[in-house]
């Protein structure tokens, strides 16, 4: 386990390098990430590689005992490459060609981009293979789907469709192109789904297939780099810095070729000031490969490009870092080492500021690094194990992006409602794909999955029949794999399992409708309502108002040795906590009902011992009751109480 920083020696005079590395070493920094944006420095003109400056910083890092992670620099192609091949620029959905001056302005389907990506990767891999300072590689930077609408992408997309469907008759039939007279008689007639006068109102089947195609383009672009790195640097690991809850592409596919997932964690920036997302994003990142991960960029100060974001409160950076470790992170790399004097990210503050003088941020990062080093031997090889899972599938994200249907119905919005409620009850959560062994979980939650196949339904039915507990959200089983509506009664393929059918539905927009439970509790339901017809299921709650007043809203159905619940609507935290308390108790999932609001409770398990992390995520001190049989490792713990200051952290070991 290490603490690291992103370092850009190409931004600074070489005389400063040793000073920086001395300060890093003094703070307990054991890793630097280098070169992911340095293509023009590494290859100043085509075919002429200059690696000597990087050799020198590697040697200096090695002398200070600081390991190095190298990045392939393909996120920022140099000006000479674009000048020679201007058709490398991406074309946006309005048909505008992007120009030079930012990053990611390259089409990953372009054969010249592919060729130069392989060339720079090959040159770096050959040169740095066996270098004792280098322990691993990061591919590119923050991949998204290849969002490009150029002529090359159009031709490649048409070929993709031809290979997949085989004939235009098959494509026309499956997509229903008779609608709006869109029947194709030649492959070249199939358009890219650019913005039109009437908006992005293309055939949903076309839109879904385009998402798949461009996601796969990114996967294939990375795969070429990975093959080169595996060939020349077999002893180095390979990772990539994902973006948490980003959902423009299939992260499961992107992670397939990697050793482990990393991600970039910015809880508060000029764009987003919701710190609760980080906990969910950690669980999502851990679930992609079902193993521990790295945080490749951890916020350590203000974030901002043109506008300066909020300053993290005292202790907050340390708390975020420990939250990541508690969630399964093995290494934390802070972004960045020093605030940059030039360029777009001048106001994205680093561990040290523009003046290079270590101040408050440096001291807080150093405190965390010292604590992590002291705990590393105990926490090494420990993992996160949970008994509750939320299922994820990026095609469901695409379906809701193409047709949102209602405000608040997106996958992550649905997932967060469950996740926040479970975390408030002290219950850990895995976010995982459907194709793993679900039997390891006592409870599985299925947010609305509009695209439902019979194969997926078979897995879900088997899980419940074998004794599992399944919770299903509305808008599940609406469409097939071509994004075409099913003819059968909703929820298609799952009606018998759930013991219900959907008789009607309503999008609530900004309004709410009261829901009353069997116990007489009243909650506000929002976003969506399914009116249910019961066929064997028990009614747990009914609507109290609007057009579905008195009709079932939440149901429970026995199936085999397990039980399946249908939540026909969305609610707020009290709604979920009430129903989840009974569901978890019946499934024998441990909860902590006396967990104070705003406190995160996380467990990691070693071979012979479990470790409990308590993290105060609020700006006021709080006392947390702890169970007997726990030994404090750090933090203020007295008897059966842990006292956490604002953004404080305590770590305890379970007595074995």
Cα–Cα dist 531/477, whole Å: 15
Q: Residue 527 class from Cβ within 10 Å (0-12 exposed, 13-18 middle, 19+ buried)? A: buried
- Domain boundaries along the sequence of the chain: 2-147+212-379, 151-206, 388-587, 599-654
Cα separation, 639 vs 549, whole angstroms: 51
* Cα torsion 254, 259, 260, 263: sign: negative
Phi/psi at 463 (5° precision): -60, -45
Domain 388-587, CATH number (from 3.50.50.60, 3.40.1390.30, 3.40.50.880, 3.30.70.141)? 3.40.50.880
DSSP string across 586-636: HHT----TTPPTTEEEEEEE-SS-EEEEEEE-SSS-EEEE--SSEEEEESE
- Alpha-carbon gap, residue 635 to 644, rounded angstroms: 8
Helix ranges (H only) for 299-393 are 316-326, 360-379
According to the model, what pLDDT value does residue 276 have? Answer: 80
Q: Where are the beta strands (DSSP E) in 485-609?
A: 500-507, 513-517, 522-534, 538-543, 552-559, 562-567, 569-571, 599-605
Q: What is the full DSSP assignment across 425-483?
A: TT---EEE-TTS-GGG-SEEEE---SB--HHHHHHHHHHHHTT-EEEE-TTTT-B-TTS
For this structure, is 93 an active site residue? no
Kind of pairing between the strands at 67-71 and 2-6: unpaired
8-state DSSP, 196: B
Alpha-carbon distances, residue 168 vs 153, 162, 175, 194 (angstroms): 19, 8, 10, 21
- Quick check: helix, strand or coil at residue 296? strand
pLDDT < 70 regions, the chain: 199
10, 93, 122, 142: the active-site residue: 142
- Predicted local confidence at residue 170, as pLDDT: 98
Listed residue (37, 12, 36, 6) closest to 24, CA to CA: 6
Closest CA to 269 of 318, 324, 306, 228: 306
pLDDT of residue 489: 97
Residue (of 80, 77, 81, 84) closest to 105 by Cα position: 77
* Class of domain 2-147+212-379 (CATH, top level): alpha beta
Question: What pLDDT, in 10s, does the model give residues 21-62?
Answer: 999 999 999 999 999 999 999 999 999 999 999 999 999 999
- Coil, strand or helix: which one is 43? coil
Q: Does residue 45 carry a catalytic annotation?
A: no
Q: Tell me the C-alpha distance between 417 and 397, whole Å.
A: 16
| pLDDT value of residue 296 | 98
Residue that is written with structure tokens 């002291």 in the block: 374
pLDDT in tens, 253-283: 999 999 999 999 999 987 777 778 999 999 9
Task: Please report, in angstroms and rounded to a whole number, the separation of the first and last CA atoms in the chain.
Answer: 23
Q: Considering the domain 599-654, what is its CATH architecture?
A: Sandwich (2.60)
Overall pTM surpassing 0.75 (yes/no): yes
Considering 43, 209, 297, 371, which one is annotated as catalytic? 297
């Amino acid at each position: 386990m290490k603490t690291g920083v992103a370092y850009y020696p190409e931004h600074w005079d070489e005389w400063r390098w040793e000073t920086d590395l001395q300060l890093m070493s003094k703070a307990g920094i054991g890793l630097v990430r280098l070169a992911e944006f340095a293509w023009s420095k590494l290859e100043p003109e085509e075919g002429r590689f200059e690696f000597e400056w990087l050799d020198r910083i590697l040697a200096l890092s090695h002398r200070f005992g600081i390991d190095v992670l190298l990045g392939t620099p393909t996120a920022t192609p140099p000006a000479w490459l674009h000048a020679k091949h201007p058709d490398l620029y991406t074309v946006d959905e309005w048909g505008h060609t992007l120009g030079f001056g930012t990053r990611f302005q390259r089409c990953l389907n372009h054969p010249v981009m592919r060729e130069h990506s392989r060339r720079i990767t090959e040159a770096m891999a050959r040169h740095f293979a066996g270098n004792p300072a280098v322990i691993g590689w990061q591919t590119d930077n923050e991949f998204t789907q290849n969002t490009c609408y150029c002529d090359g992408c159009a031709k490649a997309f048409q070929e993709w469709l031809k290979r997949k469907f085989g004939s235009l008759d098959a494509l026309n039939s499956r997509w229903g192109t008779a609608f709006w007279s869109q029947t194709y008689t030649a492959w070249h007639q199939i358009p890219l789904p650019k913005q039109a006068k009437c908006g992005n109102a293309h055939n949903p089947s076309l839109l879904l297939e385009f998402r798949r195609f461009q996601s796969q383009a990114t996967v294939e672009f990375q795969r070429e780099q990975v093959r080169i790195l595996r060939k020349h640097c077999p002893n180095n690991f390979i990772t990539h810095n994902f973006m948490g809850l980003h959902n423009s592409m299939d992260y499961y596919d992107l992670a397939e070729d990697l050793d482990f997932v990393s991600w970039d964690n910015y809880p508060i920036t000029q764009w987003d000031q919701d710190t609760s997302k980080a906990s969910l994003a950690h669980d999502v990142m851990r679930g992609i490969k079902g193993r521990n991960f790295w945080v490749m960029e951890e916020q350590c100060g203000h974030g901002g490009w043109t506008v300066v974001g909020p300053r993290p409160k005292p202790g907050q950076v340390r708390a975020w870092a420990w939250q990541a470790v508690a969630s399964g992170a093995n290494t934390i790399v802070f972004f960045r080492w020093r605030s940059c004097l030039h360029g777009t990210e001048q106001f994205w503050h680093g561990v040290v500021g523009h003046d290079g003088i270590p101040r408050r941020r440096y001291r807080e990062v150093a405190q965390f690094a010292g604590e992590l080093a002291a705990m590393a031997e105990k926490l090494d090889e420990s993992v996160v194990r949970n008994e509750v899972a939320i299922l994820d599938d990026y095609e469901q994200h695409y379906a809701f992006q193409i047709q949102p249907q209602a405000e608040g119905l997106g996958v992550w919005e649905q997932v967060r409602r469950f996740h926040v409620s479970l975390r408030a009850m002290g219950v850990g959560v895995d976010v995982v794909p459907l194709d793993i062994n679900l039997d390891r979980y006592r409870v599985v939650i299925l947010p609305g999955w509009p695209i439902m196949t019979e194969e997926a339904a078979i897995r879900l039915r088997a899980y419940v029949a074998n004794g599992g507990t399944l919770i299903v959200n509305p808008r599940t089983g609406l469409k097939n794999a071509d994004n075409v509506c099913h003819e059968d009664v909703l929820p298609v393929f799952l009606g018998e399992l759930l013991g219900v059918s959907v008789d009607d539905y309503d999008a609530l927009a900004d309004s709410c409708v009261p829901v009353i439970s069997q116990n007489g509790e009243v909650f506000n339901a929002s976003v969506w309502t399914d009116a249910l017809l019961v066929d064997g299921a028990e009614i747990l709650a009914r609507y109290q108002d609007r057009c579905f007043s008195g009709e079932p809203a939440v149901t429970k159905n026995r199936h085999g040795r397990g039980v399946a619940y249908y939540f026909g609507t969305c609610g707020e935290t009290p709604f979920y906590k009430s129903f989840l308390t009974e569901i978890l108790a019946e499934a024998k999932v441990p909860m902590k009902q006396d967990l104070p609001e705003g406190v995160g409770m996380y467990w990691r398990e070693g071979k012979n011992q479990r470790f409990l992390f308590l993290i105060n995520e609020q700006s006021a001190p709080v006392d947390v009751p702890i169970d007997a049989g726990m030994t404090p490792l750090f933090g203020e713990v007295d008897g059966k109480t842990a006292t956490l200051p604002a953004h404080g952290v305590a770590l305890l070991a379970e007595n074995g």
